[in-house]
């Protein structure tokens, strides 16, 4: 029991830590703008708007309006992917298990931070940096869903702890927007480029995801018709069902005045003869017949196929949710960028 408790609490802590490391990181992308400007990200769009050498004078701010607009577009697409792929990761965690979800999401997130590191070296690569931001955004909901589903399975006997864990995991997902702010603080205070914080964060994410993967146990196999009928079969439950002693005398039932009308007549010619019309079949034998017929009935029942992933994704509720979140993120990003630009 001590080992199980330690494992459960370790899963809770690691799930929250991994969600903070890789969950909603992309929502703090505005903190990364000064570092992206300094590495000349999307500076090629300013060729016809500003004079040559003017961009070098503003290393931590935008060089032209086209650069800001394109960067805002990349940010909006990254925000949108987080909401759009959440249902995909949820279906993947349900079908393949929490450990597989954690493994895939962690690998994608580490690859995104590694690509962000490589895109920041030298002159930088705009395409590689853009792909890195999108990979980080796509991987976030996978880490959240994998940690949530896997850890809840360990907390099945602790409903109060489940509620606490859900609140902490949601707070970790929202708080992960501070990651890029930590990148900015480290890069500017230590005079580092974006590649050093990205490389270090990729290693930390790989370590945290690997520990969470090792702690989470494999999901239990789903119940089948065979296991359901086994629960109804008395022969399969002989080890747990109480068996009456055949030498024990049956309890006498009190007789009432109408007992003569309910009497039965047995055939004396043959002990195995069928009951007469007046004889009532014992309730125990009726129950045994029902239990004997249960496995055949359950086996003959058709199996219900799981809905296809495409049908789940194109459901009306999912489409309306994605549309609403896309519009909300676009408006929010435009508002935030306008406020940041005015503050500068």
DSSP 267-278: -SS-TTPPP-TT
Q: Which two tokens stand for residue 267?
A: 């055939």
Residues near 233 by beta carbon (within 8 Å), at least 6 away in sequence: 291, 294, 295
Q: Is the pLDDT of residue 131 over 50?
A: yes
Determine the average pLDDT of the residues in 68-88: 87
Name the nearest CA neighbour of 169 among 23, 10, 5, 4: 23
Count of positions (residues) in the chain: 344
Between 31 and 109, residue with greater pLDDT: 109
pLDDT for the residue numbered 261 = 45
- pLDDT value of residue 233: 46
* Residue the block writes with tokens 């890195």: 132
Tell me, what's the pLDDT at 296?
59
CB 317 within 8 A of CB 302: no
Instruction: Give the pLDDT score at 341.
Output: 55
- Mean pLDDT for 74-87 is 86
Q: How confident is the model at residue 310 (pLDDT cuts 50, 70, 90)?
A: low
Q: In the chain, what percentage of residues exceed pLDDT 90?
A: 26
114 vs 110: CA distance, rounded Å: 6
Q: Specify the higher pLDDT residue, 5 or 108.
A: 108
Annotate 43-87 with DSSP letters as a single string: GGGGTTTS-TTTGGG-TTS-SSHHHHHHHHHHHHHHHHHHHHSHH
Does position 32 have pLDDT exceeding 80, yes or no? yes
Rounded distance between C-alpha atoms, residue 286 and residue 284, angstroms:
5
pLDDT of 83 strictly over 70: yes
The angle, 0 to 180 degrees and rounded to 10, between the axes of the packed helices 126-154 and 159-175 is 170
pLDDT classification of 194: cutoffs 50, 70, 90:
confident
Segment among 36-45, 73-82, 229-238 with least mean pLDDT: 229-238
For residue range 3-13, list pLDDT tens digits in order: 457 788 889 99
Count of CB atoms situated within 10 Å of the CB of 222: 7
Q: Cβ(148)–Cβ(15) under 8 Å?
A: yes
Q: Give the CA-trace dihedral at 146, 151, 152, 154, to 10 degrees.
A: 140
**Angle, in degrees to the nearest 10, between helices 86-96 and 98-120:** 140
Classify burial at 209, counting beta carbons within 10 Å of its beta carbon; exposed 0-12, middle 13-18, buried 19 or more: buried
Name the CA radius of gyration of the chain, rounded.
33
Give the lowest-confidence range in 114-123, 147-156, 265-274: 265-274
> How far, in Å, CA of 90 to CA of 142, rounded?
8
Domains in the chain: ranges and CATH: 2-47+64-219+307-343 (1.20.1250.20)
Q: Please say if the pLDDT value at position 222 is more than 50.
A: no
Q: State the Cα–Cα distance between residues 79 and 90, nearest whole angstrom.
A: 18
Lowest mean pLDDT among 68-77, 127-136, 315-324: 315-324
- Angle at CA of residue 102, ends 99 and 103, nearest 5°: 85
Judged by DSSP in three states, 223 sits in: coil
Is residue 14 pLDDT above 50, yes or no? yes
pLDDT score at 111:
95
pLDDT above 60 (res 212)? yes
Annotate 151-167 with DSSP letters as a single string: HHHHTTT-HHHHHHHHH
């Amino acid at each position: 029991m001590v080992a199980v408790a330690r494992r459960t609490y370790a899963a809770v802590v690691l799930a929250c830590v991994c969600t903070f490391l890789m969950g909603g990181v992309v929502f703090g992308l505005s903190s990364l703008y000064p570092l992206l400007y300094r590495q000349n990200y999307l500076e090629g769009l300013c060729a016809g708007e500003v004079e040559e050498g003017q961009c070098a004078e503003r290393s931590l701010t935008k060089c032209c309006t086209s650069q800001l607009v394109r960067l805002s577009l990349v940010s909006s697409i990254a925000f949108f992917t987080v909401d759009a792929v959440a249902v995909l990761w949820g279906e993947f965690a349900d079908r393949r298990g929490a450990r597989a979800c954690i493994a895939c999401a962690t690998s994608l997130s580490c690859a995104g931070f590694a690509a962000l590191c490589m895109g920041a070296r030298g002159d930088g690569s705009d395409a590689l940096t853009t792909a890195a931001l999108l990979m980080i955004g796509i991987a976030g909901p996978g880490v959240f869903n994998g940690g949530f589903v896997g850890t809840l399975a360990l907390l099945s006997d602790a409903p109060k702890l489940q509620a606490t864990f859900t609140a902490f995991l949601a707070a970790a997902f929202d708080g992960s927007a501070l990651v890029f702010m930590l990148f900015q603080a480290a890069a500017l205070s230590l005079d580092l480029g974006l590649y050093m914080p990205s490389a270090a964060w990729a290693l930390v994410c790989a370590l945290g995801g690997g520990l969470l993967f090792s702690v989470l146990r494999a999901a239990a196999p789903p119940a089948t018709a065979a296991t359901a009928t086994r629960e109804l079969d008395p022969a399969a439950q002989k080890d747990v069902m109480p068996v009456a002693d055949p030498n024990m005398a049956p309890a006498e039932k009190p007789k009432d005045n109408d007992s003569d009308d309910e009497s039965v007549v047995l055939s004396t010619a043959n002990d195995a003869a069928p009951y007469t019309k007046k004889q009532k079949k014992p309730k125990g034998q009726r129950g045994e017949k029902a239990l004997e017929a249960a496995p055949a009935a359950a086996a003959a029942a058709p199996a219900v196929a799981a809905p296809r992933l495409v049908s789940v994704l194109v459901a009306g509720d999912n489409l309306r949710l994605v549309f609403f979140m896309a519009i909300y993120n676009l408006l929010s990003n435009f508002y935030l960028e306008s406020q940041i630009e005015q503050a500068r």
